[in-house]
Amino acid sequence: MPSATPESPRVVLGVTGGVAAYKSAEIVRGLRRAGYFVSPVMTRDALKFLGAATLSALASEPVRTELYGDASTPSPHTYLGQSADLVLIAPATAHVIARLALGLADDLLTATVLATRAPLVICPAMHTEMWEQPSVQANLQTLRSRGALVVGPASGPLANGDEGTGRLEEPERIVEVVSAVLGGYRGPLSGRTVLVSAGGTREALDPVRVVTNRSSGRQGYALAEVAARRGARVILVTTVRRDLAPDLLSRIEVVDVESARDMRDALVGRLVEADVVVMAAAVADFTFDPHPVKWKRADGPVPMIPRPSEDIVASLVERRRPGQVIVGFAAETGDPEVAARAKWRSKGVDLMVGNDVTAEGAGFESPTNEVVIVSGEGAAERLSRRGKAEVAEVILTKVEGLLARGD
């Protein structure tokens, strides 16, 4: 077994209260064999399934269980959080997953998670009925949207002689994922470049006035952030500036544009770099030849002679290379499914996402959305109202499936 030192990559291993806690001993052995310094943290419920002495003997330092430290380490959660290169929770019970999703910090493990900027890997383990609960899946979706990597669960024998999905992933696989994350892997989009557009374009009438739409860019920004948390390099072409999560600034390149023409040029110019294009922007259907000076009230009504703007999605599809995935958006009024199906067929995109911008909780500036996603053979999936980051999660999961089929 390699001799890990405090200078070796440090893995904080959180063990929670489930039958699968006994497998944490083998996980510690695997992490030590891989050369990592392992700092174990056990919850009080975990101690009912596995003695602290076992992991203390196998790990790089003794088990910690209490939020409040001693004279040598008065603040163990900050010590662990700041020194960790990765936090691994295996097994992770439904209860602890819920507490993490809520951002609670009522014991050493949850406080350590809040006190770290290190990657978080969560390995759920529970009975099938618990795993399938919508609340559990929603909590995991929340954690994924914040950048956590969820590994497993597997299917097979469970406690009490039952069988089903909910079994802790095998220790060897967990150690493999830890090594990959420490090597730079951040999710299924690692090594991919995702090109995202956001916001509503602004078409000039004169140097002062513009014609625009109500798009806030919220959905485009959510897609950019979720893609970055899944490991992608993101190029965000946008007409609006919104705050990005500070930890994602190095992974998201922001390109500012204004008009439909600007957006088209930026997207076509960066297309060669992209594995995925997500056209979430609301692009003006018409543009104008702007008057060179400000039009005065005394001059009468501003002459507005519209001409169709270029179809950006068509330009991208025409130039796409094999294997590129393109996602279009259709902002509609009324039932968006008919329009989304028609645009999916006519545009030649892989996915078309439609929404009714007049629906409550699904319009511009709303933090939530309600969409229909049209994909292969015109199949449509409706998503009930949810946060725009959650919508982005579903869209990008479908994108990952398309990329996998093309590899």
Supply the residues annotated as catalytic.
Answer: 213
What are φ and ψ of residue 259, in 5° steps?
-90, 170
**20-58 burial, b for 16+ CB within 10 Å, e for fewer?**
bbebbbebbbbbbebebbbbbbbbebbeebbebebbbeb
Q: Contact 241/197 with Cβ under 8 angstroms?
A: no
Q: H helices within 218-370, ranges in order?
A: 218-229, 260-270, 312-319, 336-347
> Please, which residues bridge with residue 196 across strands?
236, 278
10 Å CB burial of residue 384 (0-12, 13-18, 19+) is exposed
The contacts of residue 148 (CB under 8 Å, 6+ apart) are: 100, 120, 121, 122
Sheet holding 10-15, edge to edge: 37-42, 10-15, 86-92, 120-124, 149-150
Cis peptide leading into residue 153 (ω within 30°): yes
Nearest to 194, CA basis, from 282, 259, 283, 271: 271
Nearest to 125, CA basis, from 156, 153, 148, 87: 153
> What separation in angstroms does the CA of 74 have from each of 195, 198, 214?
46, 46, 52
